Structure 1
Amino acid sequence: MATQAFQALLQTCKHVVVLTGAGVSAESGVPTFRGSGGLWRTWNATDLATPGAFVRDPSLVWEFYNYRRELVQRCRPNPAHLALAAFERKVTEDGRRFTLITQNIDGLHAAAGSRNVVLLHGSLWDVCRADRHGMKASKPCENRKQPLVPALEGKGAPDPATMAADIPREALPRDDKGHLLRPGVVWFGENLDPDVLSRAQQAVDDADLFITVGTSSVVYPAAGFVSQVAARGVPCAEVNLESSGATASCKYTFQGRAGEILPDLLEVSNV
């Protein structure tokens, strides 16, 4: 059986690398903002999560992110997050290596206990100074205060009938020198942090088993990791609700909810 063969492989690997996507967080109640029903009000996330959108309407963008921060603050790690954290402990106790690369920005992997996590797209809890083009003008730093400023209190309701708050620029989040702040995540049209990408690529290049979980494998560069690993003859596995762009490159495929599959698959069912 595929499960038994995969589990036998798990016992011999020296560096297991896992890539997670929005499907993992969705099982904790975090919206994916993809597919049907993926709108915030009448907006696609791809229309708001850009430097240009921030320049045009920083109030609207901050409403969107205030809603996301407020929602995620109430979310908790699910069995998939917990299984991966437990597996990391198990592997490292054996003297082996484990790297978790995630496209998610919610921080739920860390909340579950994962330690060696590469945040490809940054963190929802980070903020940074914005330049006049809406780009990052300082290194992102964590700020978990919620709401970040009084003007965002109660703002960001997703109901399409909700009117935009039109918060004055001077009332939006600012640093101690008065510079306008923006979410510290990687937006559409922006490059990944070179150091973060280098760390992820080093893990991908060194993996002797690669597992992709809960991702449609359409957002690059992460979408290309599986094919890179498979091209070296290294076995890859996929855990996902449906086939994805990575399926053809995977020797093992397990279809279903990550929270239901991973605890048993990774043999950490006591999570």
Structure 2
Amino acid sequence: MLFNKPLYLSAPPRFIITSNTPAFSVKARHFFTWKGDSEDKMASKNQKQLPKEYNSITAFHKKLAESKRILAVCGAGLSAASGLATFRGAGGHWREHKATDLATPGAFRRDPGLVWLFYAYRRHMALSVKPNAGHHALAALAKKNPDFLCLTQNVDNLHQRSLHPPPQLKPLHGSLFTLTCSSPSCTWSSPNNYASPLCPALAPAASSSSLSQLLDPSHPLDPIDPKSLPHCPDCHSLQRPGVVWFGEPLEEGMLDEIDRWIDAGPVDIVLVIGTSSVVYPAAGYAEACRTKGHTSVVTVNLDADQNRQTLNSLQEEDFAFAGDAAELLPELLKPVIGELPKELLEGTEDQAESKAEEKTQ
């Protein structure tokens, strides 16, 4: 098994606590701190010699033509390419609250209204953007190649909205658009629920006209009565967002499915998109795949050509492409998926313009 169960998040949702297998050793746990992000770019000043064609699209296309089983691990950078704020890093705040402090079972017990308002805002913002060409390229690859599996750390449903085949998509941290019951003894859930607002009490987070006041920490929020929040139709407990909060286990059945897929045979390519190949879970899955044979780890990230740990981790058949995943993925996967429809590429251009004007909330 790749992971020991249960598996818990004890750090922001781009990281996963590891098992005691060699690829997930205790030594790797420094990746579970925010400090690791800044250290990542400063470490290993003495860069080793890079593979000759590590950033050659032509060389990657040759590898792609020879490949069958492909795994992708997607992080926040892919969502950012759609213009979506990701609340990443130690400075990620919503109003006066650290976003990570709101993403806990304890916060929900103390103030379910505040937590629901935060997630209603995130739902609204996710619905205000579209899947980018990177999402569509991955969905097209899944339709062309039944031996492709995509793992995503993102909870915004942009993969799902790109019509990515569900059996080939594993949302590691759940979804903003799945509602579940907060009672541990109740199994009710409502997937792909795009209603916005979910109830009148959450309307301030679902209207662009009211967002300026909502996001202004100097503007006091009226307390939300828990009775006015969504409740489970089966047991009448509070509904909650279907995401994995810190301190909660990831879905065991899904992790078992991923383990079985990796164990089924050699993995030719691991695509690491919008995150780093040297942080978890990407690092763990890449190493697990390497144990099965000659795996090429391909990093697609804005800083792929500057991140020293990423560059120093490259092996002979690995690649690192620096840039926007929405622009790079359609080009990298073109030999398999062909040209994406023009309207999908135009959507990416619109989002790029939106990002240029965007102010971080």
So what's the TM-score if we normalise by structure 2?
0.67
Contact 1:60/1:165 (<8 A) preserved? no
Report what 1:5 is aligned to: 59
Of 291, 312, 326 in structure 2, the residue corresponding to residue 259 of structure 1 is 326
Report what 2:260 is aligned to: 202
Unaligned runs of 5+ in 2: 1-52, 206-210, 341-361
> Mean alpha-carbon deviation: is it higher for 3-12 or for 98-107?
3-12
| Partner Cα distance (2:73, 2:281) in 1 | 12
SS of the residue corresponding to residue 69 of structure 1 reads: helix
Of 69, 77, 86 in structure 2, the residue corresponding to residue 23 of structure 1 is 77
Cα gap change, 1:178/1:234 in structure 2, threshold over 3 Å: closer, same or farther? same
Report what 1:106 is aligned to: 156
Q: How far does residue 186 in structure 1 lie from its aligned partner after superposition?
A: 0.7
1:129 aligns with 2:181: yes
> Percent identity, aligned pairs only?
41
1:163 aligns with 2:224: no
Contact 2:272/2:282 (<8 A) preserved? no
The one-letter amino acid paired with 2:339 is N
Contact 2:277/2:299 (<8 A) preserved? no
SS of the residue corresponding to residue 238 of structure 1 reads: strand
Cα gap change, 1:103/1:80 in structure 2, threshold over 3 Å: closer, same or farther? same
1:120 aligns with 2:172: yes
Cα gap change, 1:266/1:198 in structure 2, threshold over 3 Å: closer, same or farther? same
* Larger of the two Rg values belongs to structure: 2
Q: How far does residue 180 in structure 1 lie from its aligned partner after superposition?
A: 0.9
So what's the TM-score if we normalise by structure 1?
0.88
Report what 1:270 is aligned to: 339
Residue by residue over 1:129-181, the C-alpha shift from the partner in whole angstroms, topping out at 9 and shown as x without a partner, is 113xxx68535432322111111111373333332331011111101242111
SS of the residue corresponding to residue 259 of structure 1 reads: helix
SS of the residue corresponding to residue 153 of structure 1 reads: helix
Residue by residue over 1:68-103, the C-alpha shift from the partner in whole angstroms, topping out at 9 and shown as x without a partner, is 1111111101111111122223334xxxx1111111
Cα gap change, 1:45/1:137 in structure 2, threshold over 3 Å: closer, same or farther? farther
| Partner Cα distance (1:210, 1:253) in 2 | 12
Report what 2:39 is aligned to: none
1:236 aligns with 2:297: yes
Contact 1:213/1:240 (<8 A) preserved? yes
Contact 1:41/1:162 (<8 A) preserved? no
Q: How far does residue 118 in structure 1 lie from its aligned partner after superposition?
A: 0.8
Contact 2:91/2:98 (<8 A) preserved? no
For the aligned residue pairs, the C-alpha RMSD in angstroms reads 2.3
Unaligned runs of 5+ in 1: none
Residue by residue over 1:195-239, the C-alpha shift from the partner in whole angstroms, topping out at 9 and shown as x without a partner, is 111122333344221111001467744542122223443221110
Of 58, 73, 80 in structure 1, the residue corresponding to residue 112 of structure 2 is 58
